């Protein structure tokens, strides 16, 4: 079962998934492997890690395509070359077209840095602090056409502390994301 991971930047969640796959023997236990990492930005730092790991690390630049539809078609073509059982969005900062989403329905995951359904979209940590929340967290969910709204697969909760800034909260949430996302994927894989 091939896994394709889409990133746009740091790729720390992607790295956590790649490491978990190695550490927990996904190949032997789940018949699964990370087959490729694809970024919409050539400068994404995560590509460096992916290459160091000997993974296929590819770029499909959204700026090279005239429309969202054209970009998504090129992206899908790149993904399809790896025959994925699962496509994982990990800090992938592009909104996908309904056509793309329906093509991968049930095997397209995202992680979002809030306790959905609270705070879909951007600036989640700032909004959680502004709302006076006492907890924050991260959500792994199936991707549907509506942004950050698909069925929830797993969540992690962290405390929101009195002197938190968006950065301190993001770091606390990120640490949990790195545990949560590999666990959610490992749970889903036998059903794919």
Q: Which residues form the catalytic set? A: 112
Cβ-based nearer residue to ligand GRF, 47 or 90: 90
Asked if residue 137 binds ligand GRF (CB under 6 A), the reply is no
Going by the DSSP 8-state scheme, the letter that residue 62 receives in this structure is G
Asked if residue 174 binds ligand GRF (CB under 6 A), the reply is yes
Q: How far is the C-alpha of 74 from the C-alpha of 13, rounded, in Å?
A: 24
Annotated ligand binding at 2? The verdict is: no
Give the residue, chosen from 17, 111, 129, 184, that forms a contact with ligand GRF under the rule CB under 6 A: 111
Q: How far is the C-alpha of 24 from the C-alpha of 64, rounded, in Å?
A: 38
Give the residue, chosen from 3, 13, 47, 116, that forms a contact with ligand GRF under the rule CB under 6 A: 13
Asked if residue 41 binds ligand GRF (CB under 6 A), the reply is no
Cβ-based nearer residue to ligand GRF, 7 or 60: 7
Give the residue, chosen from 10, 62, 145, 152, that forms a contact with ligand GRF under the rule CB under 6 A: 10
Asked if residue 58 binds ligand GRF (CB under 6 A), the reply is no
Q: How far is the C-alpha of 166 from the C-alpha of 178, rounded, in Å?
A: 18
Annotated ligand binding at 94? The verdict is: yes
Q: How far is the C-alpha of 92 from the C-alpha of 137, rounded, in Å?
A: 18
Q: How far is the C-alpha of 115 from the C-alpha of 140, rounded, in Å?
A: 9
Query: Under the phi-then-psi rule, with left for phi > 0, alpha for psi from -120 to 50, and beta for the rest, what region is 125?
Result: alpha
Strands laid side by side in the 56-59 sheet: 56-59, 33-39, 2-7, 84-89, 108-112, 135-142, 152-159
Annotated ligand binding at 13? The verdict is: yes
Annotated ligand binding at 38? The verdict is: no
185 closest CA partner among 95, 86, 65, 53: 86
Give the residue, chosen from 4, 5, 6, 11, that forms a contact with ligand GRF under the rule CB under 6 A: 11
Give the residue, chosen from 12, 40, 97, 142, that forms a contact with ligand GRF under the rule CB under 6 A: 12
Annotated binding-site members for (6R)-10-formyltetrahydrofolate: 68, 93-96, 110
Binding residues vs ligand GRF (CB under 6 A): 7, 9-13, 90-91, 111-113, 138, 174, 177
């Amino acid at each position: 079962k091939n896994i394709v991971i889409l990133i746009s930047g740091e790729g720390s969640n992607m790295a956590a998934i790649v490491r978990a796959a190695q550490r927990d023997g996904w190949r032997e236990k789940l018949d699964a492997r990370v087959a490729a990492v694809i970024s919409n930005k050539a400068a994404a730092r995560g590509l460096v890690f992916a290459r160091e790991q000997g993974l296929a690390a590819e770029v499909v630049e959204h700026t090279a395509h005239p429309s969202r539809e054209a970009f998504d078609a090129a992206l899908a073509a790149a993904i399809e070359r790896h025959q994925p059982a699962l496509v994982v969005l990990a800090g992938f900062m592009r909104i996908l077209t309904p056509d793309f989403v329906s093509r991968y329905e049930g095997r397209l995951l995202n992680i979002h840095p809030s306790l959905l359904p609270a705070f879909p979209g951007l600036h989640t940590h700032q909004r959680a602090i502004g709302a006076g929340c006492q907890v924050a967290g991260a959500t792994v969910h199936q991707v549907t056409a509506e942004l950050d709204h698909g069925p929830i697969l797993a969540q992690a909760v962290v405390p929101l502390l009195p002197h938190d800034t968006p950065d301190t909260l993001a770091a606390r949430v990120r640490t949990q994301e790195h545990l949560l996302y590999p666990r959610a994927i490992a749970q889903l894989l036998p059903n794919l």
